[in-house]
A and B are shown apart, each in its own frame.
Chain A
Amino acid sequence: MKAIVAALSLAMTAAPMLAPAALAQDKPEQLGMGIFTFASGPAAAYGMPGRNAAELMIEQINADGGIGGVPVAPTYVDEAQGGEGVVSEFRRLAGDGSTDIMVAALSSGNCMALAPIADQLEMPMVTWNCDTHQLFLNAEHPYVFRPNSSTVPEFVAYAAYAAQKAPDATRIAIINPDYAFGHDAAAIFTAAMKAFNPNAEVVVELFPKLGTQSFNTEISRIAAARPDIIFSNMWGGDLESFARQASARGLFRSSQVILALGESILQRVELPEGVIVGVLGDSFWNAPDAKQEALDFAAAYNEKFGDYPVFPGMKMANTILVVKTAYEAAMEANGGTWPTKDEVLAALDGITAETLTGTVTVREDHDGIVDQIVGMTTGGTGTPELAEMVRYPGAAITPPVGADPIEWVSTLTPEFAAELPAPGSLN
C-alpha cells in the first residue's frame, strides 16, 4: 500500500521537475497569475464582474503579445470556499511552481488571512479590492501591495460630498452590512461628518447581516427616524434588494440617500435622480475625463458579457494593468531581460502606474493613492452615467503614512471639505 502510494507520488512529482527550471534571464513560457475572487454565493454578484474583467483584460494583454512577450496564464480561485480553503489554494498555487504572482483578494478577511502567508511563502501579492485600512495598519507586509484605495479616503470622500452638497443636513441614518467593512465605514463616515459639521448626529444606525433579503423593517425604522441623510455601503444582492425596497417605499424622496457602492447596480435597478453614488476609487469608465482605453475596454466588455463593466470589474482590470506596468518597469530597469522576483517587488514598491481610469501610486507602506470619484444618479436608464461628478485627489484625502486613520479623520475641519474640488467640477 505504502509502496504503491510512494511510487504514485513519485511519478506525479517527477513530471513538473522535468520542465526546465526558469533562470532569471530566460523568459518563461508563461506568467502564472493566481486570481482570487468570489465566483459563487451571494458575494459573486460583486465578484463575477471582477472575474469577467480579469478574463477580458488578460485576453487583451495576451493578444497584444503578453507582458514583455510572455503570455499571462490565470488560475481563478473562488473565495466563497471560506478562509481555510482560500489559504489552502494560495499555498498550493505558490507551492507547485505554477504561479508567479497573486492578484488577491476581494474580501478583506481573506486579504488579512493571505497577507502573512504571502510574506511567509515569499509570493508577491497585489490586492485588487480588499480595502480595509487594517491591512497595513499594524503590520508590514513586504510581499503585499495595494494599488487601490482603502476605507478611509473612500468614506471621507462621501462625507465631503455630503458636506458640500447638503451643508444643512444633520440627521444621519446609517445602514451598513454587519461585518468589518460596514462597521469601519460607519465609524469613518460618522467621524468625518462630525468633523465637517459639528451639529451632525447619527439618529439611527443599523447593521443587517450579509445576505438579508428583506429590509422592510429596517426601512420603516429609518423612515421613523426622519433622517436628512441615509448612508449605506451595502453591495451586491443586498444593495439591490435594499435599493428596490427603499425606492418603492419612498425613502429616496424623503431623504438624501448615499449609496457608496451604488454604481455597481445602476444597470440593474432604476435609481431615482439625485442619489449620491460612487465607485470606491476612480474606477468609473464613463467619467467625463475618461480615457479612450477605458471606453474601449467597456465596449469590449459589453460585447463579451452583455453589460457594461461595474466598478469592481474596472478595479480588477486596473490592478492587472499595475502588475503589467511593474513587470515592464522591472525589465526596463535590468536591460530588457525577464525580471527576477526581487526585481518585480522592487518595481512594485513606489510604482506610479497609469490605469484605465486614472493614476495610482503605491506608497512606501505599500498602500495605494487613488482619486475618489463621486457623483449623482441622473434617473436615466441604459448606459450608466453620473451627474454632478467630482474627482477628489487621492493624496488630499488619504491619511499620511503611519497616521492612525480614525484619529486623522477627526482632525479634519469644515474648511477641509470646502477646499476640496466642488461637486460638478468634473462635468
Chain B
Amino acid sequence: MLHFIIILALAAAFAAIPAFFPWLAFVFTLVLAKGFAALGVAILLRAGLISIGHALFYAVGAYTVGFLSSRAGVNLLIPQLVAAAVVSGLFGLVIGLFMVRYRGIFFAMLNLAVSMVGYTLLSKLYTLTGGTDGLSIATPRVLGMTVGREAFEAILLYGGLGLAFVVGIVVHRYLKSPMGEALPAVESNEIRLEYLGIAVPRVLLFAYVGSAVLAGIGGAIHALIVGHITPDLAYWTTSGQLVLVAVLGGIGGVAGPFIGATFLESVRAAAVIYAPDAWNIIIGAGLLVVIFFLPRGLHGLIERITRKGERP
C-alpha cells in the first residue's frame, strides 16, 4: 500500500512540475516515451535477456505514426497509437519467433544486428521513410476534434501519464502471473522450468512481443511530441540508452523504468545547460554508482522505504 502511495506521490509531482516550467512539459513527455520503451526492455531483463536492439521497435512505432501522418493521411491520435502498438507487436512476433532460441550475449548481438539492418532500411527506403531527413508529423485530431498544438501537448503529457498508469497496472498483473513469474526462472534455471512442464519459448515470445508493443507505444509518443523523426531512433545508441534507463530505474517494479527515464532526461536537460562537455561522464559515473551501490536501481530506494514501513 505504502508503495502505491509513494508511486502516486511521484506521479503527482511529475504532473505538477510542468505546470510551473512549461518547457519541461516536452521533456516530461519524452520521459514517458522512453519510460514505456524501457519498461519493455526491463521485462526482458527480468529473464536475463539484454536487448541492444529495442530501439528498432521504438522506431517502428514512431515510423508507423509518421507514415500514417505524412503518407497515408490518417491524422487521428487514437488510431495512430493503436496502429503503432499493433505494427510493432507484429514486428516483435516475427523477430521474436527466432530470437527466443538465443540466450545471453548472442541474444544481445542478434537484436543489435536486426536493429542495425532496420536502421539502414529506414535510411535507405527514401520514398517510404524520407531517408535521413526523416518524416514530419502533423498535429493529429483527438477524438474527432481539431486541437491546437498547446492543447495537444497537454493531452499527450497527461493522457500519456494516464496510459502509463493503466499499462503499468496491466504489466504488474502480468509480472505476477505464472507467465510473468516464469521470467526470472528462465534466468536462474531454465532446465528446471522445462521439467516443470513450462514451455520456455512461449513464455519468452509472449514477453518479447509485449516488450515490442511497449517500445512501439513509446516510439509513437516520441514521434507525436517531437513532430519529426529520423532513422537515428533505431541506432544502437538509442537501444543502449533504453537499457541504461531500465537499469538506472531498476527492473524490480513497473515504476522503475519511468523513474530511470525521469532521472536520465532531467540530468541530460541540466547537463546540456551546465556541463555540455561532460554529460557522458556524468551519465557514465551515475550508471556506475547505481550498478555498484544500488543494484536494484532507483526503484530499489522505494523498495527499501516500503520494506521498512511494512515490516517494522
Contact = CB atoms under 8 A, between A and B. Distances in A.
Chains A and B touch each other in the complex, with CB atoms below 8 Å apart: yes
A87 B137 CA distance: 14
Interface string A1-43: 1100110011011000000000000000000000000011000
A272 B149 CA distance: 55
Interface in A69-87: 77-78, 81-85, 87
A2 B227 contact: no
B26 A88 contact: yes
Nearest to B233: A83
Contacts of B26: 87-88, 91
Nearest to B132: A179
Given A9-B21, A85-B268, A96-B23, A132 B133 contact: yes
Interface string B273-293: 000110100000000000000
Interface string A68-112: 000000000110011111011101101110000000000011001
B299 interface: no
A113 B226 contact: yes
Contacts of A178: 123
A113 B20 contact: no
B16 A6 contact: yes
Contact of A2 (B9, B123, B133): B9
A84 B227 CA distance: 9
A14 to B, nearest CB: 10
A117 interface: yes
A109 B133 contact: yes
Interface in A97-135: 108-109, 112-113, 116-117, 120, 132, 134
Contacts of A95: 22-23
A183 interface: yes
A116 B227 contact: yes
Given A2-B9, A87-B26, A109-B133, A39 B276 contact: yes
Interface string A152-165: 00000000000000
Interface string B16-41: 11001111001100100000000000
A395 interface: no
A311 B277 CA distance: 25
B30 A88 contact: yes
A178 to B, nearest CB: 7
Interface size band for B:
20 to 34
Interface size band for A:
35 or more
B126 interface: yes
B228 interface: yes
A84 B126 contact: no
B227 A113 contact: yes
A5 B17 contact: yes
Given A9-B17, A9-B21, A120 B149 contact: yes
B16 A13 contact: no
B142 interface: no
A346 interface: no
A10 B149 contact: no
Contact of B230 (A109, A116, A117, A139): A109
Pick from B23, B133, B227, B229 the residue with the most CB of A within 10 Å.
B133
B123 A78 contact: no
Contacts of A134: 133
A299 interface: no
Interface in A138-173: 139
Contact of B21 (A2, A13, A78, A179): A13
A421 B9 CA distance: 71
A92 B25 CA distance: 10
B268 A179 contact: no
Interface in B218-242: 222, 226-230, 232
Contacts of B149: 120
B237 to A, nearest CB: 9
Interface of B: 9, 12-13, 16-17, 20-23, 26-27, 30, 123, 126, 131-134, 136, 149, 222, 226-230, 232, 268-269, 272, 276-277, 279
25 contacts: A1-B13, A2-B13, A12-B20, A12-B21, A39-B277, A78-B272, A81-B272, A82-B232, A84-B226, A87-B26, A87-B228, A88-B26, A88-B27, A89-B272, A91-B26, A92-B23, A95-B23, A108-B133, A109-B132, A112-B228, A113-B136, A113-B228, A139-B136, A179-B123, A180-B133
Given A10-B20, A183-B126, 10 more contacts: A2-B16, A6-B16, A12-B20, A78-B276, A83-B232, A84-B30, A109-B133, A112-B136, A113-B136, A179-B131
Interface of A: 1-2, 5-6, 9-10, 12-13, 39-40, 77-78, 81-85, 87-89, 91-92, 94-96, 108-109, 112-113, 116-117, 120, 132, 134, 139, 178-180, 183
